[in-house]
Amino acid sequence: MTARISRWALLLVIALVGTVLVAPPSQAALPYSTLVSLGKPTTASSVESPAYPASAATDGQASTRWSSANGSREWLQVDLQWNTQLDSVSYDWAVPDPNVSTQVEFRISDDGTTWTTLEYDFPQGPSHVVVGNLQGFRARYVSLYTVGHASVSDLSVYGTPLVDFARGKPTTASSVEGPHFPATAATDGLLSSRWSSQFSDPQWIVVDIRRPKPIVEVDIVWETAYARSYRIDTSLDGVTWTTVSTMSKTSSAPDHVTLPGREVQFLRVYATARGTQYGVSIRDLQILGPPVP
C-alpha cells in the first residue's frame, strides 16, 4: 500500500510541475543543434484512418496530424537514424479525446527496444508541449507513449547527430588471435567482423582518429569474449594517456560510455581482465562526437 501511495504521489508531483524523471548527465550544450526529426521514419501503434498517418507528425506541416485508433495504449515513434545528442523536443497535442484521461510519457531509446522515460505530461485540450533542457541525453529513437486516444500534429526533435570518428581510421591492438581477427575489424562499421586478442591479460586496442575531435561517447559492441574490467584512455599524441572512464562488467552487453567532450586524437580501450577463458573481442567500436567542420 505504501508503495502504491508513493507512486501516485510521485505522479501527482509530476503532473503539477512536469518534472524530468531522470537527470541528464552533466554535459555542455553542443553547437550545430538542428531539427533532426523532419521527414525521418515515423511509426505508430495504430491510425484512426489512412488520412492520419504517423508520418504526418514529422512532415513539418501544421495542417496534418497523426491520429490513433481509440485504443487504451498508443505510441508514436520517430527514428532519427543516428545516435543524436538531444537538445529539446516539442509536440503539438491536437485533439485529445475528452472522454479518456490523457497521459503522455516522453521516452527515448538507443535501440528501439530499451526505453527511458524522461517526462510525463498531462495535456488538457489542444496544447504545445515543450520538453526542454535535454542536453546530455543521447538517443536514436524518440517516442510519445500515451494513455487513450492520441492525436499529434507535430513532433519536433532538436539536437546534434553524432558522427563516428573511428570508422575506417588506423586501428592497432596489443595482439590478435589470428589473421581473421585484425584490430581494424573493430572499426570497419560491420558487426559481422571483429577484433579478437590472444588469450591473456591485459589487452588493448587503439584508434587514431587523425585529428583532435571533441568526443562525447564511446560505444562498444562486444563479442561473447568481453572484458570484465577495462578502462578508456585518451591522448592527443599517442604517448601521454589520460584515463577517462573505468568499467566493470558481468556480461557481454554493449556499452555506451559518456565522455566529457574534450578534444582527443587517440582513444584506447585497455582491458585489464577478460570476462571469459578466451581473449578480448570487439565487434564494433564507435567514437562519437558532433560533426566538426
Binding footprint of Ca ion on the chain (CB under 5 A): 185, 188, 190, 193
Of 242, 177, 237, 246, the closest CA to residue 211 belongs to: 237
**Measured distance CA(266)–CA(98) in Å, rounded:** 57
For the bound state, the minimum distance from the C-beta of residue 224 to Ca ion, rounded and expressed in Å, comes to 15
| CB contact at 8 A, 225 and 276 | yes
Q: Report the amino acid identity of residue 189.
A: G
Closer Cβ to Ca ion, 25 or 168, answer by number: 168
Of 288, 226, 224, 229, the closest CA to residue 257 belongs to: 288
For the bound state, the minimum distance from the C-beta of residue 189 to Ca ion, rounded and expressed in Å, comes to 7
Closer Cβ to Ca ion, 193 or 276, answer by number: 193
Within 8 A by CB and 6+ apart from 289, the residues are 162, 163, 165, 213, 214, 215, 216, 217, 261
Closer Cβ to Ca ion, 78 or 183, answer by number: 183
Closer Cβ to Ca ion, 30 or 269, answer by number: 269
For the bound state, the minimum distance from the C-beta of residue 190 to Ca ion, rounded and expressed in Å, comes to 4
For the bound state, the minimum distance from the C-beta of residue 186 to Ca ion, rounded and expressed in Å, comes to 6
Q: State which residue has the least CB distance to Ca ion.
A: 193
Give the start-end residues of each E strand in 48-148: 66-67, 73-93, 103-109, 115-121, 127-131, 138-147
Closer Cβ to Ca ion, 119 or 188, answer by number: 188
For the bound state, the minimum distance from the C-beta of residue 188 to Ca ion, rounded and expressed in Å, comes to 5
Closer Cβ to Ca ion, 60 or 168, answer by number: 168
For the bound state, the minimum distance from the C-beta of residue 254 to Ca ion, rounded and expressed in Å, comes to 13
Closer Cβ to Ca ion, 88 or 193, answer by number: 193
For the bound state, the minimum distance from the C-beta of residue 138 to Ca ion, rounded and expressed in Å, comes to 21
Q: Report the amino acid identity of residue 149.
A: H
Exposed / middle / buried, residue 7 (Cβ in 10 Å: 0-12, 13-18, 19+): exposed
Within 8 A by CB and 6+ apart from 219, the residues are 83, 254, 255, 256, 257, 284, 285, 286, 288
CA distances from 276 to 111, 154, 172, 252, 271 (A): 26, 49, 22, 10, 12
